[in-house]
């Protein structure tokens, strides 16, 4: 065999059980593509050591022989090896302060870094991601927390029977259970419909809607939301999906919304999403957000609406995007799967664990795909396996301009031989800000 790659164990937290490449794909890489694979042992990984051994893959603590090492999450600085090429979700492209130490150490060791998040096509669309699986798990957790919130409010609902996503054997079992609960909901006498709003329509939203559709909801257009919210319809849940033109509006009222202009010049737009909030029971937030874009939900809105003795319709925000103080400004901290939610208390501007309190329940698990690790890993591996050979066979010792990689991969090289590549020179100022 020629090239050798390594797969490191995940150790960021107890929930991270995913793998970048599953045993069947590593076997094919060895038998059909001539790439030798080394896998570090792990007692928590969803694909066990024995599954890799049965696939003919060597399980070895020492990844020293590997030239390219694959992982999922960030790697502790003391475990980085000199001169290696690392491929993982680095979370450094926005200058994230908590990862600057790791990035600096990679550079000191003369390493190269390929970030999955930056593997994109010519239109800058990501080619490998866990977004849909974040949507799956996030929707399960949102339904579960809604059931708990309704229960403490004295409302009986089958949704109180939803389990945490990680307790289901797999996604198929979760969807079957939610489907059965949906059948119970439609036969509830006297129940009013719960209205779920989905912000965004990309991969995260698609995954969330796929799970939600197990409840057999009715779907309404944004233009019909107000009427649907006041209608005395039956118990069937209602779904409404919001696009960009429903969330923002041109500051100059006489100029119509233009999607390309919005992304190029968001400063010309202001948020208008809060006008929809009084009509929603649940907001499922699935959008990509940066600080230059308007927010969907603000602290100010919460302070004005969650007053003593006042209970707005909005009960739960499933913030699958989970940008801290981002598009949902009430997301003041991230949570973990065993304690997925808190109530945002506007008067204290803080979160209280659980589902009780005068404010909306916020679900803010920042690592949702790890709750359904096998499906997440199988999908991710099915995409990554075709990228492994060019990454493994590349000559990482040549200057960056001579590095031969497909364009979609070369765009994702943030560091080469210890130096920031041309497209990522801007990160230097963040490194200097966090010495």
One domain for residues 307 and 182? yes
Residue 365 within a domain: yes
Residue 30 within a domain: yes
pLDDT score at 235: 87
Region 101-118: mean pLDDT is 98
Q: Is the pLDDT of residue 277 over 80?
A: yes
pLDDT score at 137: 98
Q: How many CA atoms lie within 13 A of 44 on its CB side?
A: 13
What is the distance between the terminal CA atoms of the chain, rounded to a whole angstrom?
42
Q: Which residue has the tokens 């896998």?
A: 39
Cβ contact 435:101 at 8 Å = no
Helix (H, G, I), strand (E, B) or coil at 393: helix
Query: 404: Cβ–Cβ under 8 A, 6 or more apart, which residues?
Result: 394, 395
CATH code of the domain containing 401: 3.40.50.720
One domain for residues 272 and 417? no
Element (H, E) at 124: none
Q: Is 432 exposed, middle or buried (0-12, 13-18, 19+ CB in 10 A)?
A: exposed
Q: Is the pLDDT of residue 202 over 70?
A: yes
pLDDT score at 160: 96
pLDDT score at 1: 56
pLDDT score at 150: 96
pLDDT score at 331: 97
Cα 176 to chain center, whole Å? 23
Domain boundary among 319, 346, 371: 371
One domain for residues 384 and 257? no
Helix (H, G, I), strand (E, B) or coil at 381: helix
One domain for residues 18 and 69? yes
Q: Hey, which bits of 40-89 come out as E strands?
A: 58-59, 68-70, 85-88
One domain for residues 282 and 383? no
Cβ contact 189:234 at 8 Å = no
Query: 312: Cβ–Cβ under 8 A, 6 or more apart, which residues?
Result: 277, 278, 305, 306
Domain boundary among 371, 392, 410: 371
Q: How many domains does the chain have?
A: 2
Helix (H, G, I), strand (E, B) or coil at 309: coil
Region 252-260: mean pLDDT is 92
Provide the mean pLDDT of the chain.
95
Q: What are the pLDDT digits (tens) for 278-295?
A: 999 999 999 999 999 999
8-state DSSP, 365? B
Q: How many CB atoms lie within 10 A of CB 32?
A: 9
Element (H, E) at 139: helix 131-152
From residue 112, alpha-carbon distances to 14, 118, 385 in Å are 27, 14, 20
pLDDT score at 145: 98
Q: Which two tokens stand for residue 321?
A: 């995007």
Cβ contact 130:376 at 8 Å = yes
pLDDT score at 154: 92
Q: How many CA atoms lie within 13 A of 339 on its CB side?
A: 9
pLDDT score at 292: 94
- Helix crossing, 171-185 with 203-212: angle to 10°? 50
One domain for residues 223 and 301? yes
* Domain extent at residue 26: 4-119+373-433
Q: Is the pLDDT of residue 232 over 60?
A: yes
pLDDT score at 3: 96
Q: pTM for this structure?
A: 0.89
Q: Is the pLDDT of residue 349 over 80?
A: yes
One domain for residues 77 and 61? yes
Region 33-50: mean pLDDT is 97
Q: What are the pLDDT digits (tens) for 395-431?
A: 999 999 999 999 999 999 999 999 999 999 999 999 9
One domain for residues 164 and 194? yes
């Amino acid at each position: 065999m020629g090239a050798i790659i390594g797969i490191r164990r995940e150790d960021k937290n107890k929930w991270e059980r995913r793998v970048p490449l599953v045993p069947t794909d590593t076997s094919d890489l060895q038998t059909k593509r001539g790439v030798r694979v080394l896998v570090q042992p792990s007692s928590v990984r969803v694909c066990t050591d024995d599954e890799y051994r049965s696939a003919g893959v060597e399980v070895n603590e020492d990844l020293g022989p590997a030239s390219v090492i694959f992982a999922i999450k960030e790697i502790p600085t003391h475990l980085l090896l000199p001169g290696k090429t690392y491929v993982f979700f680095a979370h450094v492209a926005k200058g994230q302060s908590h990862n600057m130490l790791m990035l600096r150490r990679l550079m000191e060791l003369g390493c190269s870094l390929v970030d999955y998040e930056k593997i994109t096509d010519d239109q800058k669309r990501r080619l490998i991601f866990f977004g849909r699986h974040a949507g799956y798990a996030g929707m399960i957790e949102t339904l579960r927390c809604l059931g708990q919130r309704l229960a403490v409010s004295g409302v009986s609902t089958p949704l109180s029977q939803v389990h945490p996503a990680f307790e289901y054997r797999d996604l198929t079992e979760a969807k079957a259970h939610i489907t059965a609960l949906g059948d119970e909901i439609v036969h509830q006498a006297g129940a009013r419909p719960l209205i779920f709003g989905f912000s965004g329509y990309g991969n995260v939203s698609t995954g969330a809607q796929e799970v939600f559709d197990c409840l057999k909801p009715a779907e309404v257009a944004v233009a019909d939301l107000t009427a649907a919210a006041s209608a005395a319809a039956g118990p069937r849940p209602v779904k409404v999906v919001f696009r960009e033109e429903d969330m923002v509006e041109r500051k100059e009222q006489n100029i119509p919304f233009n999607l390309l202009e919005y992304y190029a010049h968001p400063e010309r737009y202001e948020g208008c999403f809060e006008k929809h909030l009084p009509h929603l029971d649940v907001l499922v937030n699935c959008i990509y957000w940066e600080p230059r874009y308007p927010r969907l939900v603000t602290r100010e809105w919460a302070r004005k609406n969650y007053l003593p003795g006042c209970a707005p319709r909005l009960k739960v925000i499933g913030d699958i995007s989970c940008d801290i103080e981002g598009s949902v400004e009430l997301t003041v901290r991230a949570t973990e799967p065993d304690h997925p939610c808190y109530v945002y208390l506007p008067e204290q501007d803080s979160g209280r664990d659980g589902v009780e309190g005068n404010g909306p329940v916020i679900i803010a698990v920042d690592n949702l795909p790890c709750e359904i690790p096998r499906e997440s890993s199988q999908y991710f591996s099915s995409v990554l396996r075709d990228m492994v050979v060019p990454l493994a066979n590349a000559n990482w010792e040549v200057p960056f301009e001579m590095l031969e990689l497909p364009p979609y991969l070369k765009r994702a090289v943030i560091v080469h031989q210890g130096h920031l590549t041309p497209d990522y020179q801007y990160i230097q100022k963040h490194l200097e800000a966090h010495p």
